[in-house]
């Protein structure tokens, strides 16, 4: 019901419904979108009673009614124009105590009801949504009209009403920004949807990562032209081109690339991504044996490829990392994770066109012909880890492999590709500023000892800490043992009883006493004497 809408295309058009039953309470809410400066939203009449909601001006919404005590009007004035072709929400309420009106998030306007007088709203006409009684009707869209908790079916009534169309176009004007990561907003009959086909993402709003786990030796190749497609037909394709039509070269020689992906791995060296061509041009993203990232461009005009080395951090640490590379002519911008972008420039002797791109490889390079020596060296055994949201201009090779699309025929896979979201959220902590970093030293005033001394101090410091921890653990264990020993032997020792000797062989306790003490019998005999008086 949220998108149940109708479009009023003439000022005299309206929809009619049964009489509104709101004698003692009324709760009306709806959304509207218009470019007109005024118009009646809805109205219901009685003999003298009525209830009406209207757009009085470009900045005013009015709620008026009469229950027999005279007309009452509540007006909300907006600081900005309401006829901006954007959705606005209206909520009007009335009961026996008060009435209120609110537009969007503007302050609520409240009017108290009189303490004496009529309280029942008596209506008999039909409820009109739009023009009524010869008044200027509403031009635009109304959706999600609810009256006392009941949603009116505007679409169904609009299908049989001239001058009114079901649904409402222009949803993307208000909600297109929710299609993220390059997703395209598409108008629908009763709402909108996000087209994620030209992105590396999935889901209703193009925010779900599409990724996969690569085992050792596995690779994926995306051919920029499908089998059986001639190069002449390939010229008409714009997949390789950027979204800017001016950068589309007729011979597929790219002057601009936009590459983004996320990865995580613990093994190095490896080839993350490689783009080959029908010429000697190529582009590669590598992880060197040290775990550092390297971007390599070879566009011709230079003897050696142009390398961008990111030597100040280890990227093979098992955490997800995001890489964004943009090239426009000779200018290259690289951004890693949440760190600030860094700019580079190709040598002046280098060509600025990527000539005739052929295929994109992930995980490993399986290409016929000559391959750069370092890439060949890093190519074995291959990438092991996770790759996600891979996108080169408008091509998403991983998504094409994992989702059945028109581009799936371009993909060839060696091994079993298992979908995974292991690279969904970069975990790398953003760098600290120089002002808050306690380890930051200004190069002008920094005074470092030679490397040997610095390393020795660090080793001594670590040894002292480890020794202290071990001493504390040993002391704790000894204290615990002493406490346990004292507790176990607290009640042990010798004790003496007055038990008679020979008690073990005697028939009873009395017998034992008699055997042990000869005088005891005399005492008994003496106690048994009787005296007669």
33 with 79, same domain: the answer is yes
Under 8 Å between Cβ of 399 and 200: yes
Q: What is the mean pLDDT of residues 196-200?
A: 87
Check pLDDT > 90 for residue 60: yes
Residue 97 included in any domain: yes
Q: What is the mean pLDDT of residues 356-380?
A: 83
Residue 40 included in any domain: yes
| Tally of domains in the chain | 3
Nearest CA among 199, 372, 196, 344 for reference residue 275: 372
Tokens of 217: 């030796």
319 with 196, same domain: the answer is no
Check pLDDT > 50 for residue 465: yes
Residue 272 included in any domain: yes
- 433-454 per-position pLDDT tens digit: 555 444 444 444 444 344 444 4
Q: What is the mean pLDDT of residues 259-281?
A: 90
Distance CA 42, CA 138 (A): 9
350 with 384, same domain: the answer is yes
180 with 80, same domain: the answer is no
Check pLDDT > 70 for residue 352: yes
Residue 413 included in any domain: yes
Distance CA 503, CA 424 (A): 85
365 with 402, same domain: the answer is yes
Q: At 219, give phi and psi (nearest 5°).
A: -150, 160
Peptide bond into 381 cis (omega under 30): yes
- 396-442 per-position pLDDT tens digit: 998 888 887 666 778 888 888 888 877 555 444 444 455 544 444 44
28 with 129, same domain: the answer is yes
CATH number, position 123: 2.60.120.200
Distance CA 267, CA 216 (A): 10
Q: How confident is the model at residue 507 (pLDDT cuts 50, 70, 90)?
A: low
Nearest CA among 202, 139, 125 for reference residue 404: 202
198 with 221, same domain: the answer is no
Residue 347 included in any domain: yes
Q: How confident is the model at residue 230 (pLDDT cuts 50, 70, 90)?
A: very low
113 with 153, same domain: the answer is yes
Q: What is the mean pLDDT of residues 168-190?
A: 78
Average pLDDT, the chain: 80
pTM listed for this prediction: 0.53
Residue 84 included in any domain: yes
pLDDT of residue 448: 39
Distance CA 196, CA 399 (A): 10
pLDDT of residue 490: 65
Residue 146 included in any domain: yes
pLDDT of residue 367: 78
Last residue of some domain: 378, 404, 419? 419
pLDDT of residue 375: 83
154 with 293, same domain: the answer is no
Identify each DSSP E strand in 172-268 by its residue range.
184-188, 191-195, 201-202, 208-209, 211-214, 219-223, 256-265
Q: How confident is the model at residue 145 (pLDDT cuts 50, 70, 90)?
A: very high
Under 8 Å between Cβ of 281 and 306: no
215 with 257, same domain: the answer is yes
Distance CA 83, CA 57 (A): 9
158 with 182, same domain: the answer is no
307 with 351, same domain: the answer is yes
Q: Which domain holds residue 284?
A: 210-226+252-419
Check pLDDT > 70 for residue 58: yes
Distance CA 220, CA 398 (A): 8
Radius of gyration of the chain (CA): 43
Residue 231 included in any domain: no
Under 8 Å between Cβ of 269 and 380: no
Report the range of poorest mean pLDDT among 109-123, 135-149, 153-167, 361-375.
361-375
């Amino acid at each position: 019901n949220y998108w149940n809408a109708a479009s009023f295309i003439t000022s005299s058009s309206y929809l009619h419904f049964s009489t509104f039953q709101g004698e003692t309470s009324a709760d009306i809410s709806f959304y509207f979108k218009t470019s007109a400066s005024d118009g009646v939203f809805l109205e219901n009449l009685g003999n003298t009673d009525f209830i009406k909601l209207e757009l009085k001006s470009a900045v005013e919404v009015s709620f008026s009614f009469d229950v027999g005590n005279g007309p009452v009007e509540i007006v909300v004035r907006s600081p900005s124009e309401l006829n901006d072709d954007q959705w606005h929400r209206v909520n009007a309420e009335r009961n026996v105590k008060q009435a209120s009106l609110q537009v969007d998030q503007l302050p609520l306007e409240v009017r108290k009801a009189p303490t004496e007088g009529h309280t029942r709203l008596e209506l008999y006409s039909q409820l009109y949504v739009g023009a009524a009684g010869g008044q200027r009707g509403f031009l635009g869209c109304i959706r999600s009209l609810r009256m006392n908790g009941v949603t009116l079916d505007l679409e169904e009534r609009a299908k049989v009403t001239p001058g009114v169309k079901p649904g409402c176009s222009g949803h993307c004007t208000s909600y297109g920004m929710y299609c993220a990561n390059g997703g395209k907003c598409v108008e629908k009959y009763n709402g909108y949807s996000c087209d994620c086909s030209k992105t590396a993402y999935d889901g209703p709003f193009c925010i779900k990562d599409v990724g996969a786990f690569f085992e050792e030796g596995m690779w994926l190749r995306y051919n920029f032209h499908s089998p059986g497609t001639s190069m002449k037909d390939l010229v008409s394709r714009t997949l390789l081109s950027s979204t800017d039509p001016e950068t589309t070269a007729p011979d597929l020689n790219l002057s601009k690339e936009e590459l983004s992906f996320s990865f995580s791995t613990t093994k190095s060296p490896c080839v993350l991504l490689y783009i080959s061509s029908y010429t000697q041009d190529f582009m590669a993203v590598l992880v060197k044996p040290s775990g550092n990232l390297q971007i390599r461009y070879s566009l011709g005009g230079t003897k050696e490829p142009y390398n961008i080395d990111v030597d100040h951090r280890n990227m093979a640490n098992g955490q997800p990392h995001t890489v964004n590379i943009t090239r426009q002519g000779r200018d290259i911008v690289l951004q890693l994770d949440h760190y600030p972008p860094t700019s580079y420039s190709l040598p002046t002797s280098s060509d600025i066109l990527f000539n005739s791109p052929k295929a994109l490889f992930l995980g490993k390079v399986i290409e016929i012909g000559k391959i750069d020596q370092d890439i060949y060296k890093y190519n074995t055994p291959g990438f092991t880890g996770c790759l996600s949201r891979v996108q080169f201009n408008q091509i998403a090779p991983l998504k094409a492999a994992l989702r059945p699309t028109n581009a799936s025929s371009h993909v060839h896979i060696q091994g079993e590709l298992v979908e995974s979201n292991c690279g969904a959220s970069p975990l790398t902590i953003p760098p600290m500023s120089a002002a808050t970093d306690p380890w930051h030293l200004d190069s002008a005033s920094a005074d470092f000892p030679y490397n040997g001394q610095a390393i020795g101090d660090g080793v001594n410091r670590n040894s002292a800490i480890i020794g202290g921890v071990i001493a504390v653990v040993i002391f704790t264990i000894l204290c615990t043992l002493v406490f346990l020993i004292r507790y176990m032997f607290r009640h042990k020792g010798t004790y003496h009883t007055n038990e008679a000797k020979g008690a073990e062989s005697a028939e009873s306790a009395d017998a034992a006493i008699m055997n042990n003490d000869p005088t005891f019998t005399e005492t008994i005999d003496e106690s048994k004497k009787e005296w007669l008086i």
